[in-house]
Chains A and B, each alone.
Chain A
Amino acid sequence: AQSVTQLDSQVPVFEEAPVELRCNYSSSVSVYLFWYVQYPNQGLQLLLKYLSGSTLVESINGFEAEFNKSQTSFHLRKPSVHISDTAEYFCAVTHSNYQLIWGAGTKLIIKP
């Protein structure tokens, strides 16, 4: 069975500092990997995804994630965070065409 672990429930970081949100997964088959973001009082939005090809994927707002098959990880990074990045971030995996398996989420708290 697949599972997703987000090791940190909250990550506080100062504005303009770098951040890494960790995601590890377990699966016996090849997977597709996703990061979703949920801003306060809004629905989940797809941030970025890895389906195949380059293991480094980027979003339009400066986040990137790297698929590491040997470590079964898909950590999310940003070199310099902004107050507008305050949100909850969810890592998800699937090997099927419909069922996403989700981590518990990491709240990114930006300190001024």
Chain B
Amino acid sequence: DTGVSQDPRHKITKRGQNVTFRCDPISEHNRLYWYRQTLGQGPEFLTYFQNEAQLEKSRLLSDRFSAERPKGSFSTLEIQRTEQGDSAMYLCASSLVVHEQYFGPGTRLTVT
């Protein structure tokens, strides 16, 4: 069990570019979550998958954001036309038992 992995760990992009992040959950976990964390704040919920179904999306997730989890395994989070306000740490978590989420190391996005 290698835990939750995220790729890349760091991403620097120019405003207006598209970026895609990947999350590989713990293999037997059917639930997957995306959060965003800005400096000095706790994580904010973005979206939740159970298997391949996206069951909930936060209002924070504008139409520039899209997440997928094909085949119920890894997940991708894409941000189109990035803005400086998108700069944050993007966290992925997975769980088997509902109330025990395991987090990856995060992807730090910097939009210049």
A residues touching B (Cβ–Cβ < 8 Å)?
4, 9, 32, 34, 36, 42-46, 49, 51, 90, 92, 94, 97-105
Contact = CB atoms under 8 A, between A and B. Distances in A.
Given A99-B48, A101-B45, 11 more contacts: A4-B42, A34-B99, A43-B103, A51-B99, A90-B43, A94-B99, A97-B98, A98-B56, A99-B56, A100-B101, A105-B41
B72 to A, nearest CB: 15
A99 to B, nearest CB: 5
Interface of A is mostly: strand
A46 B44 CA distance: 16
Q: How large is the interface on B (under 10, 10 to 19, 20 to 34, 35 or more residues)?
A: 20 to 34
A90 B4 CA distance: 19
Interface of B: 4, 31, 33, 35, 40-45, 48, 55-56, 58, 91, 93, 98-106
Nearest to A94: B99
A32 B42 contact: no
B99 A32 contact: yes
Contact of B105 (A32, A42, A97, A98): A42
A8 B91 CA distance: 23
Contact of A9 (B31, B33, B40): B40
B55 A98 contact: yes
A15 to B, nearest CB: 26
| Listed residue (A9, A42, A43, A104) with the most chain B CB atoms within 10 angstroms of its CB | A43
A49 B106 CA distance: 22
Given A32-B99, A43-B4, A49-B100, A102 B106 contact: no
